[in-house]
Structure 1
């Protein structure tokens, strides 16, 4: 049943030699890897307004110069990451750049930040998409968390089906969103030029604003910079591109930057000219669309595509998180399970881990997007800063042809990224302080995992000097609960391996029952030694393990190995297991981690 459901949801397994068919062309890659950055247009301008409204609506004209600053930062990041793509064509982005040029700890900070950031990408995108849905249908507001969790499950299943298949499906909503916003911007600007929008809805540029401060403007700029999250995803996912990967990734990055600049500028300008103020129950894009078209078909088309891309922006996390996890796992900083490809040739373990973590975040924050965005944004600008700084070190050390220009580009990117990062810490410390705790903790965990893998490798290598002690014989201990076919099956197996060294062990709670069992055993298996243990406290584990310890001590002196064969019957239907006490599993779990003891289960399958 489980296998049939799995095949229905994610499809038939793909052969390993079909991996090349799972690569993305530029059109699909733009949709999959740029959806996070493009979708931030739906909430980036709104974050600026949320800060400015604390002074007054007159301060909204500051959105224009703030937007110009965000666009300058976007240009610097696009040019910087374009250089990273060609310098590190195998992907890895900020993690690989920082590790190779700034050291392991810098790389782990960048990698840890991005892992958390991609989890937040899913949580923020899904939460924002849910907000767009409930803006159009207000009666759904009480179910924000439930809707968000369902959407995460949907996107997860889609990604488990494979990157090519998910890209084929998700490309349409992304391009529909781009089309919808371009139409909205064109029609909105047309209404403004035709004089259909009252000019007194907004304050003129340069209007004095009481109470405005540099601190508040920097806070608004940092909030608006959240629109740039996801810019680095393409440099992490170069292996997903069709050959030539770096060239296709570079062109996709440039196209994403251009589209992001157009859409962000247009939404900011319309919000300013229309005098849009942020509302708790309706997004800024929803208000602009409502004023431009009214609540008609076009409005719902814009809201629908906005909701879809906000949801599908999570796919950037699903595309980049598994690849970054693979790089970290190859360096032994996280579990090796992240390097394993699933049935559809995607890194399924990374996808599932990302889904579970993001669902927990959504539930913890109750789907409130504004609570997640600051933590999300600062997590991006830390690796932004480290990546650009790492490239500076690379150019200074290698001095390739044209290195001065490359150095200048990365220097500008590093300075701006660092500035934005510090602004976040200074202006939103109450919301981002957790970064200062979880990042060192993540790096510490990375090092502990690496240390564990190195210790395991050292102990497993046959070149180590640790001597191996020859095994002279084997003593089989078979815990028995009665005279049954299950026990008989285990005894027959034990006899086939070591017929002269078998000890059956029976734990009795009652003296009379103990004596009766010994008599029955003598009749049934007279050639197998039986040891009965009396348990005053009705415990099987304690007397059994105490006996095994005694046997093991004597066996070790003679270079014998002790093997515990645990009889276990397997019901025909899995749900029948809940009707039995599973004592065999408890014994196995208790004995499994004991040194110099072999524990094995001998199954007996029931037929009905």
Structure 2
């Protein structure tokens, strides 16, 4: 089926749902469609003639409605049978086709052969059964789950944020460390200001207010795209840095594992990939416990340290002798500030994922954000206070948090608990990026800045392709930097604070335009957040440019180049596929409908079959062709009975050319449209009626986000009911001038060939449409 290339209808309800795939036709295209329909009426046989020629009843059943589904455990899993013949033959079809569960429809292909069937069973075992699209509502998160899932990145950053700040200050020796408390205070104020700013963002954008949406809506598409570039870079680095820090916590406790840093990190990325492919709720349940354990471990460590310090009248211990390599000037302090500010990355995650909360979404999101900011400031301040009291300094062999745990608890069970909780939450903190990276990528795909494959929800209602892309990118970065946290930190602050700056600046413009109740207070909060974020961004970009920040800046530039080129291609393709009368093709006037269908053709008499060339039956047996039971025994043109099935996703120039080609063959034609919702099915029928309903058309509603698999099952059921027919499946195919652009369009024909190869008497053909 050709890609959706028409003009989209406005979406006023936030990001598109899982069933949003059919493009709208504007008034001009609808006028052209009506005009073309009139031309078809003069150039082709009347619709009644095509219907009388149809040798099948196209109504082979339907997928069950949500009210008819008997859910499995927890009301989320359902078993779905194939679309098939009426009840009297359904059992035979089921026996031949096998029981089909919901997951088949989500993956798009039916596994054939023992190896592929085993792979499908393994997939279901690891990832679970697929969920119906209506399960999105039940997959929402409550606050107690959303806090660890969406805040793990920000909360866990206290394990490396203070250490990153000290690692810069210690270069100036004791004089540099004297600035630790003022710098930490500035970072805590930044956390509070940005947190309050994002509370205003959630209130203004209750359907999800990530930097891409806010900056794009208030500052223009270019600003939104730059914000998205910063976010996407940050999400990749979030995974790499979190895992590097987690592995460092493990190697601090078990130094013998230091040589296995890279394999350990890559293995964790694989585990995160599998966990997130299982879906939102599964990931939340998996990642909640480590986050809460880490919060408890940090507060236990802080309390124990303060109790010990109280016994010494809170007298700070002296720091060990430190070599001085830099002066304690303004530049050093600004570098330390930008490094320590990495402790607040991930604050935006909640405002970007408001639709993932249970109702009332925006209120629950604001409450969760408040909890997160309060916990973040308390944990950050507690760790910095302990560092000042104990005189701990960064050590390449042991993390600062590990040193504090040793001082507070010795090497006993509590030390092991603190290190285990720290390692677990750092390794799983990357889940914040796994929640937001695919969501932002789907928004970019909706706006034609990314391949549309990233809009597709997988079996478990997660953006699976985005999850895969993030895993691959993070693994490459992790391996390239040998899993060293210190090498990754300089890359970290640039992207996220670029996004923060644009988002908060966009909110200032938003309040200035709206000027509703309390707009001055809200604008002040966002202005402060924008100013401080810009300060961190400029400081990190300038002071850490040669240390690795240039990599993040280059990544943002490459992202902008690639996304704008993708959008330019989609705009060109949409213009080429747009309905206009000068480029439309019609069937020739001589292409009348085939003769009316009068029931199945009788089988040839044995004597006649044997008389042709010495006996067709005997010759087939001798040559090994046309095995009995397969139906592939036609050898003469008169023995072949055809039915052309035209699969269409929308009505554009490629679709019109395909319809004209199918009608010109003078064979029975059945047009099939797979719709992902009843609403879209009705819209397609309306467009079809506007065109004139010249050919028989059947709409199959597939509520499981799949297109290829329902088409496969329909054709399979049609073949089982009418084995005497040769089904010719005709598809429009977009052909691009450059091979790389082909990746931006669907490859339905090749997927259909793989899926239908086990079935006899099915032919796949494509009608190419070459883009200029």
Q: TM-score, normalised by structure 2?
A: 0.62
What is the correspondence of 1:136-175 to structure 2 with a 5 Å cutoff?
136-175=253-292
Whether the aligned pair in 2 keeps the contact of 1:133 and 1:304 (CA below 8 Å) is: yes
Q: Deviations over 1:546-584 (max 9, x none)?
A: xxxxxxxxxx9xx999xxxxxxxxxxxxxxxxxxxxxxx
Q: Which runs of 5+ in 2 are unaligned?
A: 1-117, 592-622, 642-660, 667-732, 738-748, 761-772
**Counterpart in 2 of 1:375?**
491
Residue 353 (str. 1) matches residue 469 (str. 2): yes
SS in 2 for 1:53: helix
Paired with 2:287 and 2:448, the residues of 1 have a C-alpha distance of 33
Paired with 2:462 and 2:162, the residues of 1 have a C-alpha distance of 35
* CA shift for structure 1 position 437: 2.6
Paired with 1:486 and 1:92, the residues of 2 have a C-alpha distance of 62
* CA shift for structure 1 position 9: 0.7
> 406, 413, 421: which is aligned to 2:537?
421
* CA shift for structure 1 position 464: 5.2
More moved, 154-163 vs 73-82? 154-163
* CA shift for structure 1 position 67: 0.6
* CA shift for structure 1 position 337: 1.4
User: Are the structure 2 counterparts of residues 449 and 92 from structure 1 closer, same or farther at C-alpha, using a change threshold of 3 Å?
Assistant: farther
> 73, 78, 99: which is aligned to 2:190?
73
Q: Deviations over 1:92-112 (max 9, x none)?
A: 411111001111010000011
Paired with 1:230 and 1:312, the residues of 2 have a C-alpha distance of 13
Q: Deviations over 1:363-417 (max 9, x none)?
A: 1111111221221211100011001111111122221122111111111111111
* CA shift for structure 1 position 447: 1.7
Whether the aligned pair in 1 keeps the contact of 2:455 and 2:463 (CA below 8 Å) is: yes
Whether the aligned pair in 2 keeps the contact of 1:234 and 1:253 (CA below 8 Å) is: yes
Q: Which runs of 5+ in 1 are unaligned?
A: 474-482, 500-555, 562-590
Residue 16 (str. 1) matches residue 133 (str. 2): yes
Residue 321 (str. 1) matches residue 407 (str. 2): no
Whether the aligned pair in 2 keeps the contact of 1:162 and 1:346 (CA below 8 Å) is: yes
What is the correspondence of 1:263-278 to structure 2 with a 5 Å cutoff?
263-278=379-394
Paired with 1:181 and 1:311, the residues of 2 have a C-alpha distance of 16
User: Are the structure 2 counterparts of residues 135 and 498 from structure 1 closer, same or farther at C-alpha, using a change threshold of 3 Å?
Assistant: same
More moved, 483-492 vs 129-138? 483-492
SS in 2 for 1:112: helix
> 422, 434, 447: which is aligned to 1:331?
447
**Counterpart in 1 of 2:334?**
218
**Counterpart in 1 of 2:414?**
298
Whether the aligned pair in 2 keeps the contact of 1:92 and 1:324 (CA below 8 Å) is: no
User: Are the structure 2 counterparts of residues 492 and 116 from structure 1 closer, same or farther at C-alpha, using a change threshold of 3 Å?
Assistant: farther
Q: Deviations over 1:520-544 (max 9, x none)?
A: xxxxxxxxxxxxxxxxxxxxxxxxx
Paired with 1:356 and 1:342, the residues of 2 have a C-alpha distance of 18
* CA shift for structure 1 position 452: 1.8
Whether the aligned pair in 2 keeps the contact of 1:489 and 1:604 (CA below 8 Å) is: no
Residue 93 (str. 1) matches residue 232 (str. 2): no
Whether the aligned pair in 2 keeps the contact of 1:148 and 1:367 (CA below 8 Å) is: yes
Paired with 2:368 and 2:585, the residues of 1 have a C-alpha distance of 57
**Higher relative contact order, structure no. (Cα contacts within 8 Å, ≥ 6 residues apart):** 2
User: Are the structure 2 counterparts of residues 401 and 490 from structure 1 closer, same or farther at C-alpha, using a change threshold of 3 Å?
Assistant: same
User: Are the structure 2 counterparts of residues 606 and 168 from structure 1 closer, same or farther at C-alpha, using a change threshold of 3 Å?
Assistant: closer
Whether the aligned pair in 2 keeps the contact of 1:130 and 1:144 (CA below 8 Å) is: yes
Question: How big is the alpha-carbon RMSD for the aligned residues of Structure 1 and Structure 2?
Answer: 3.1
Q: Which of the two has greater helix per residue?
A: 1
Paired with 1:489 and 1:451, the residues of 2 have a C-alpha distance of 48
More moved, 342-351 vs 30-39? 342-351
Whether the aligned pair in 1 keeps the contact of 2:317 and 2:390 (CA below 8 Å) is: no
More moved, 454-463 vs 333-342? 454-463
* CA shift for structure 1 position 454: 2.2
* CA shift for structure 1 position 292: 0.9
Q: TM-score, normalised by structure 1?
A: 0.78
> 132, 157, 172: which is aligned to 1:40?
157
* CA shift for structure 1 position 498: 8.8
Whether the aligned pair in 2 keeps the contact of 1:375 and 1:432 (CA below 8 Å) is: yes
How many matched pairs? 506
User: Are the structure 2 counterparts of residues 494 and 30 from structure 1 closer, same or farther at C-alpha, using a change threshold of 3 Å?
Assistant: farther
SS in 2 for 1:433: helix
Whether the aligned pair in 1 keeps the contact of 2:338 and 2:540 (CA below 8 Å) is: yes
**Counterpart in 2 of 1:586?**
none
Q: Deviations over 1:436-488 (max 9, x none)?
A: 33323212221221122222223333345313164789xxxxxxxxx985999
* CA shift for structure 1 position 118: 0.8
**Counterpart in 2 of 1:534?**
none
SS in 1 for 2:378: helix
Q: Deviations over 1:44-99 (max 9, x none)?
A: 00001111121114532321111100011111100111111111111141111100
Paired with 2:246 and 2:354, the residues of 1 have a C-alpha distance of 27
**Counterpart in 2 of 1:564?**
none
Paired with 1:453 and 1:177, the residues of 2 have a C-alpha distance of 46
Whether the aligned pair in 1 keeps the contact of 2:201 and 2:209 (CA below 8 Å) is: no
> 133, 155, 169: which is aligned to 2:250?
133
Paired with 2:327 and 2:178, the residues of 1 have a C-alpha distance of 14
Residue 412 (str. 1) matches residue 528 (str. 2): yes
Whether the aligned pair in 2 keeps the contact of 1:486 and 1:604 (CA below 8 Å) is: no
**Counterpart in 2 of 1:450?**
567
More moved, 283-292 vs 489-498? 489-498
